Amino acid sequence: MEAKWLEDFLSVARTGNFSQSASEMHITQSAFSRRIKALEQWVGVALIDRSTYPTRLTPAGERFRDAAREATATLLKTRQELRQALHADRKLLRIAVQHSLAASFLAPWLARLPIRRDDLLVRATADNLHDCVRGLEEGSVDLLVCYSHPELPLHLDAARYPSMSLAADALVAFSRPDAAGRPLHALQQDLHHDLRQDSPAVPWLAYSEGTFLSRAASLALREPGPAPLLHPVVESALAEALRAAAVAGLGVAWLPDSLVASDLESGALVRAGGVEFDVALQICLYGEKSVVEGRLKGLWQAARAAADGDPARPG
């Protein structure tokens, strides 16, 4: 007897219709009928009264329905408990990662750590920086992977939350290129230092106000002298959304260099301005002291060793 036969039987007992039940079970009606017949052969009596429409259960079928319900519920409950016990026996690594790092950085970084050796179950949550930090402080996550800048501190207690720099990154202004390979929307250097009244505004793909990357991008426009005229046309909290808008040619976006590596290689994006518009960032790892010195000590040490051997990380 197969467990799915019980599910088939309970379905037809509820619907009274072989065709509808077959559709629910995603099989043909003929295959469904064969499985019900196989169940009846296993039980040894007829469970379905096929002489009426809609079909009804025989008296034996009525009795068997209660047993089938109980058996199915028990099997499902036991399966769930066994799966939870399997996860409970493993070390759980809960990581909060800033949205803009979830796709481009997290997986390659995890691949350098002894996840499989230590039998770690990684549970990664991508969120805005504020909620990621809150998760670390509340103890709902073990590690935090995020961007850092000296002028945009996280205000975490360094004694309680040790940290390390994992890699260097930068926010860079990018645009889709024109037919000649030049930026379709350029931040001209002469605009930065010698702004004219009739200079056209550059369409700007901006981060939502209050986000970390919005504050970081604003540092690029803080140089002495007039800044480029920017006209917001798209706003989003997600770097991936602004990257897609930039590739579509909608304007200039300050994007993490690590996020657009493939776009630069394919020519989908080019720099929209000089290095004076770049904002240097660090990708950092934070953890609660008792955790990184306790059950995740080996992982923390492996992360530090990997970071120390990364040529992209400043000394």
Beta-ladder partners of 98: 127
Q: 203 with 185: CB under 8 angstroms?
A: yes
Give the model confidence (pLDDT) of 58-69 as tens digits. Answer: 999 999 999 999
Together in a domain, 276 and 301: no
Which of 72, 87, 102 finishes a domain? Answer: 87
Together in a domain, 52 and 63: yes
Q: Residue 119 falls within a domain, yes or no?
A: yes
What string of pLDDT tens digits covers the 315 residues of the chain?
A: 788 889 899 999 999 889 888 887 778 888 889 999 999 999 999 999 888 788 889 999 999 999 999 998 898 888 777 765 655 555 788 999 999 999 889 999 999 888 887 778 889 999 999 889 988 988 889 999 999 999 998 888 899 999 999 999 999 999 999 999 999 999 874 434 444 445 678 999 999 988 899 999 999 888 655 678 899 999 999 999 999 999 999 999 999 999 999 999 999 999 998 898 999 999 999 999 988 998 889 899 999 998 887 544 443
d(CA 65, CA 135): 47
Together in a domain, 180 and 233: yes
Together in a domain, 124 and 32: no
Q: Residue 315 falls within a domain, yes or no?
A: no
d(CA 207, CA 85): 43
Together in a domain, 277 and 289: no
Host domain of residue 30 = 3-87
Together in a domain, 173 and 266: yes
Give the model confidence (pLDDT) of 223-281 as tens digits. Answer: 655 678 899 999 999 999 999 999 999 999 999 999 999 999 999 999 998 898 999 99
Together in a domain, 218 and 120: no
Which of 54, 87, 120 finishes a domain? Answer: 87
Q: Which two tokens stand for residue 136?
A: 């670390």
Together in a domain, 174 and 265: yes
pLDDT score recorded for residue 195 = 43
pLDDT score recorded for residue 196 = 45
Number of domains forming the structure of the chain: 3
Q: What is the CATH number of the domain that holds 40?
A: 1.10.10.10
Q: What is the CATH number of the domain that holds 252?
A: 3.40.190.10
pLDDT score recorded for residue 223 = 65
pTM of the model: 0.66
Which of 87, 121, 148 finishes a domain? Answer: 87
Q: Residue 313 falls within a domain, yes or no?
A: no
Together in a domain, 158 and 246: no
Together in a domain, 180 and 277: yes
Together in a domain, 193 and 274: yes
Together in a domain, 289 and 248: no
